[in-house]
Amino acid sequence: MRAAAIEHLGLRSLQAVAHLGRLAQFVGLLLLHAVRRPFRVRRLVNEIFDVGVLSLVIVALSGATVGAVLGLQGYTTLSRFGAENSLGSVVGLVLVRELGPVLTALLVTGRAGSAMAAEIASMVTTQQLDGLRMMSIDPIDFVVAPKAVAMLLVMPMLNALFIGFALFGGYLVGVALLGLEGGTYVTSMEQSIDFPNDVAGTLLKSTIFGALVGVIATYRGMVSEPTSAGVSAATTGTVVIASVSILVADYVITALWGI
């Protein structure tokens, strides 16, 4: 009984290691196809449309709401110390350093990463990838790489747009609703945020998150079971694993480089 449990543990460990190995191989292939001809520009534009343009509304809406809430919460706390004039810097720093990249990545995971995994998984189920291979078209080159690259490229842009909309939301609440002075708000924000520490950090974070989500979504789709349950498992697995990876990676990046 006990031996069986240990055997089971051993099997699971071996499976986990094998998965990591296949994942590394997969990432290598992705990188290779991303830099090697033929460049599938049309496919890439199509994917940028799916991941970027179609995620724009939810990102803008969430950004404006998050910024507005930060403005309200920050105002309540800061006014207790008579420091309402620092609201701009509080809202700006929180957004640029943390909430922007993390929330954008979580939103994009739910909006586009899940769809990406489901699409690939259903192609596995209906043997479309095998069909491509029969026509000697490499499915990684044709289907997978454009998706992962689009995710990587789009994430920093969506992050910047999220932060832009959130700053606007915070400005609306702080200046129009709570009656702070507009100039003070903007100046305190612009003075406390600087490029090398904060803005470069937010771009680096969101690029790393984009790579994570892109790789996890496509890999999980590729290794799914060829059944309907496999498709749904791939979708759920992508959202869960990608979300957790984003949060863990966020902690690691912040701890390592202080951004």
Partner 1 sequence: MKPAPVRDLLVGLFVAAGLGAIAYLSLQVGGISYKGPGGLVLYATFDEIGGLKERAPVAIAGVTVGQVDGISLDAELRARVVLDLDPALELPVDTSAGIRTAGLLGDQFVALEPGGEDAMLTSGEEIDFTESALSIERLIGRFVHDAGVDE
Evaluate the CA torsion angle 77, 259, 153, 102 in order and state its sign.
negative
Shortest Å, Cβ 87 to partner 1: 13
Q: CA 111, CA 184: separation in Å to the nearest integer? A: 36
161 touches partner 1 (CB under 8 A): yes
Residue of 156, 170, 174, 237 that binds partner 1 (CB under 8 A)? 156
Which residue, 30 or 203, is less far from partner 1 as judged by CB?
A: 203
Residue of 92, 210, 214, 221 that binds partner 1 (CB under 8 A)? 92
Which residue, 23 or 83, is less far from partner 1 as judged by CB?
A: 83
The window from 20-28, 77-85, 168-176, 222-230 that contacts partner 1 (CB under 8 A) reads 77-85
**Residues 41-60 close enough to bind partner 1 by CB under 8 A:** 42-43, 45-46, 48-49, 52-53, 56
Shortest Å, Cβ 11 to partner 1: 44
The rounded radius of gyration (Å) of the Cα atoms in the chain is 22
Which residue, 71 or 237, is less far from partner 1 as judged by CB?
A: 71
Q: Do 169 and 71 form a contact (C-beta atoms < 8 A)? A: yes
Shortest Å, Cβ 130 to partner 1: 21
Q: Outline where 36-86 has alpha helix (H).
A: 41-51, 56-80
User: E strands along the chain, which residues?
Assistant: none
163 touches partner 1 (CB under 8 A): yes
**Exposure letters 66-87 (e unless 16+ CB within 10 A, then b):** bbbebbbebbeebeeeeebebb
Residue among 24, 168, 5, 19 nearest 88 (CA): 168
Q: CA 8, CA 10: separation in Å to the nearest integer? A: 5
Residues in touch with partner 1 (CB under 8 A): 42-43, 45-46, 48-49, 52-53, 56, 82-83, 85, 92, 96, 154, 156-158, 160-161, 163-164, 167, 189-191, 193-195, 198-200, 202-203
